[in-house]
Amino acid sequence: MLTLYNSNSFYDDLENNKNHACQKPLEIYAVIDPLCPECWSLEPVLKKLQVQYGKYFTLRHFVCGSLESLNTYVPRKKGINTAEQIAEKREKTASLSGMSCDGDVWFENPISAPHKATLAIKAAELQGKQQGMKFLRKLRENLFLNKQNIGNDEVLLDIARSVQLDEEEFLSDLSSEATIKALRCDLKFSQEMDVTQIPTLIVFNDKTDDDGIKISGCYSYDVYVEILKEMSGEPLEPSPLPELEDFLSTYSFVATKEVSVVYQISCEEAEKRLKRLVLQQKVERVPVKYGTFWRYVPTR
């Protein structure tokens, strides 16, 4: 669902957190739940937007773990929120989206403290926006691919190490007032934006007073491009696609589906190209429950 939204009600609260040095005209606010498979399924589209139109926008994630109830647990009164049915929903989403999501985690290693995962994301962001995004990605990989309990402190610390966060600072920030305040700001933002479905993207032009556009749910890549063009009010030139090896070097660990979407080729063709890089020992193939991921091998 696409809706217009006036920015005046919340811009004052966000103004102090903006990077005024950034000259990009557009801002995309992505409201997500790190446990939500639909949010995970949007990753290929967001990657392609960043690759081709990233010079025109900044992307900021708002994590709203409490919104999981909106997409998954609403049918509680009807008795269909069992582990089996939650797992089935995730498996179905994975099979449709091409982004693997192993529902067995709900039987084998259920998330003990979902709120801790959302706090960990905000704690990671305190060490920088890029570090926060890397942490979010790695956390989802551990949940959806590796069936890890992302509410466990040791798992979260391992993820922090893997993206080279300062460990002591991260552990301290997990329960700090700054992290709790950051999460409260995210929740307040989603309430003011009247977010009733996740994922939701909200696009604003930072250089005008025009209303923004709120996009609830998942759409095709072309829909988001048209919205960016509409919000910009002027022609947008897509950047050329990088060589596949350069793309892999930048993102390190990607799904076949992500390569397929970014390069507008079939998954079969994406597999062929990636296997060539495997033969050249530039990429490692990582089979998962639904499909395949590929890990870049840095040149030594």
pLDDT in tens, 135-188: 999 999 999 999 999 999 999 999 999 999 999 999 999 999 999 999 999 999
pLDDT score of 65:
58
Q: Does the residue 235 lie in any domain? A: no
- Last residue in a domain, options 130, 165, 192: 192
250 and 172 co-located in one domain: no
137 and 18 housed in the same domain? yes
At 279 the pLDDT is 97
Q: DSSP per residue over 162-178, as a string? A: HTT--HHHHHHHTT-HH
Query: Using an 8 Å Cβ cutoff, are 147 and 108 in contact?
Result: yes
What are the backbone angles phi and psi of residue 38, rounded to the nearest 5°?
-65, -40
Domain that holds residue 104: 2-192
Tokens of 168: 């002591």
Domain boundary among 192, 214, 231: 192
Sheet holding 212-216, edge to edge: 2-5, 212-216, 200-205, 26-32, 57-63
Is residue 148 located within the same domain as residue 275?
A: no
229 in a structural domain: no
Residues 249, 145 share a domain: no
Domain presence at residue 134: yes
Q: How do 292-296 and 253-255 pair as beta strands? A: antiparallel
Please report whether residue 232 resides in a domain.
no
Cα–Cα dist 125/179, whole Å: 9
Q: 76-89, pLDDT tens digit by residue?
A: 444 445 667 767 77
Last residue within a domain, chosen from 192, 219, 234: 192
- For strands 200-205 and 26-32, give the pairing: antiparallel
| pLDDT exceeds 80 at position 13 | no
Percentage of the chain beyond pLDDT 90 is 69
Cβ atoms of 70 and 129 within 8 Å: the answer is no
User: Is residue 217 in a domain?
Assistant: no
Total residue count of the chain as it appears in this document: 300
Assess whether 162 and 38 both reside in one domain. yes
Question: Taking 60 as the threshold, does the pLDDT of residue 193 lie above it?
Answer: yes
Is the domain of 255 the same as that of 178?
A: no
DSSP state of 143: H
Quickly count: other Cβ atoms within 10 Å of residue 168's Cβ.
8
Q: How far apart are CA 142 and CA 148, in angstroms?
A: 5
In whole angstroms, give the CA distance from residue 239 to residue 13: 33
Q: What distance in Å separates the CA atoms of residue 41 and residue 91, rounded to the nearest whole number?
A: 12
Tell me: pLDDT of 21 over 80: no
Residue 82 sits in a domain of what CATH number? 3.40.30.10
pLDDT of residue 54: 97
pLDDT at residue 70, as a whole number: 36
Start-end of H helices in 54-201? 68, 83-97, 105-108, 114-125, 129-144, 153-162, 167-173, 177-192
Do 107 and 176 lie in one domain? The reply is: yes
Q: Are residues 56 and 122 in the same domain?
A: yes
On whether both 12 and 129 belong to a single domain, the answer is yes
Which pair of structure tokens corresponds to residue 182? 């950051």
Question: Do 178 and 278 share a domain, yes or no?
Answer: no
Q: How far, rounded to the nearest angstrom, does the alpha carbon of residue 39 sit from its chain's CA centroid?
A: 6
Tokens 């099979």 -> residue: 95
pLDDT digits (tens, 9 = 90+) for 243-254: 999 999 999 999
Residue 292 belongs to some domain of the structure:
yes
Q: How many domains does the chain have?
A: 2
Output the domain CATH number for residue 252: 1.10.10.10
The C-alpha atoms of residue 66 and residue 5 are separated, in whole angstroms, by 22
Asked whether residue 187 is assigned to any structural domain, the reply reads yes
Residues 107-136: pLDDT tens digits? 888 888 888 999 999 999 999 999 999 999
Check whether residue 172 and residue 28 sit in a common domain: yes
Top mean pLDDT of 61-65, 102-106, 148-152, 270-274 is at 270-274
Prediction pTM value: 0.86
Residues 55 and 173 in one domain: yes
In a domain, 70, yes or no: yes
Distance of CA 150 to the CA centre of its chain: 15
Report the greatest alpha carbon distance in the chain. 57
| Backbone phi, psi, residue 219, to 5° | -130, 175
